[in-house]
Amino acid sequence: MQNLEKETVLSLAVRYGREDLTQMLLNAGAKANHSDQDGMTPLMLASRNGTVAMMMLLLAHQADTTVSNMSEYMALHFAACNGQIKIVQALVRAGANVVFAREYIIGLTPLMSAVAYGHIDLVRYLLPVCLKYDSEDMEITSEEGYTALNLARAVCELLLTLQTLIAIQSNAAISTLPSASARDSGVSPIAFLNTVEPHS
């Protein structure tokens, strides 16, 4: 049974966080990988909504981590954009492709998405995971020619600028920030990420 958007009862149960109904439907044989008219699967909905228990339930019923929707987003992209580190970790353990780039919009990998949205703790987790792949995979670029490192550098520059402005506004010393000369001489974006506290 589907509605006009080709959503099944399972998709709606996941969308509205009904774990009990989701469990019942899956046990009754509902298809965990059915997609709606936009290509959204229940796993993508759970990843986007940040419901870890729901996602684990779907994975236990063979939900596919590798499929993408009409915009070439996988479940991992949704979790990375929203900074859902526990969901990202579970998806990676389940075999999600960490270097898949969605080409429809700007070709971002999950790591690039985490960098672009400023989820520093997630970047710290994904970076060593991605480094396990071939070095060529780490050179994947967006349609505009940016790699994850390029994006990280841009984010770090923005963070430096923002922190400087805040410090000036509050008349505080900026002793914790790398100096402009240090930055210009090659301060690593990854090293700078390690000095920034993740969001609580």
DSSP letters spanning 64-84: -SS---TT---HHHHHHHTT-
Share in percent of the chain as helix, strand, coil (round to 5): 50, 0, 50
Task: Judge residue 96's burial from the number of C-beta atoms within 10 Å of its C-beta, 0-12 exposed, 13-18 middle, 19 or more buried.
Answer: buried
Structural contact between residues 152 and 111, judged by C-beta atoms closer than 8 angstroms: no
Residues 6+ apart with CB under 8 A from 122: 80, 83, 85, 88, 114
pLDDT averaged over 10-residue windows placed end to end, the chain, 200 residues? 71 93 95 92 92 92 92 89 92 84 58 80 83 56 58 62 67 48 45 47
Give the pTM.
0.67
Collapsing DSSP states into helix, strand and coil, what is residue 40? coil
Q: What is the pLDDT of residues 39-93, one digit of tens each?
A: 999 999 999 987 889 999 999 999 999 898 888 888 999 999 899 999 999 999 9
Task: Judge residue 4's burial from the number of C-beta atoms within 10 Å of its C-beta, 0-12 exposed, 13-18 middle, 19 or more buried.
Answer: exposed
As a whole number of angstroms, the distance between CA 60 and CA 127 comes to 27
CATH number corresponding to 1-64: 1.25.40.20
As a whole number of angstroms, the distance between CA 133 and CA 130 comes to 6
Q: Look at residue 174 in the predicted model and tell me its pLDDT.
A: 44
Q: Look at residue 200 in the predicted model and tell me its pLDDT.
A: 40
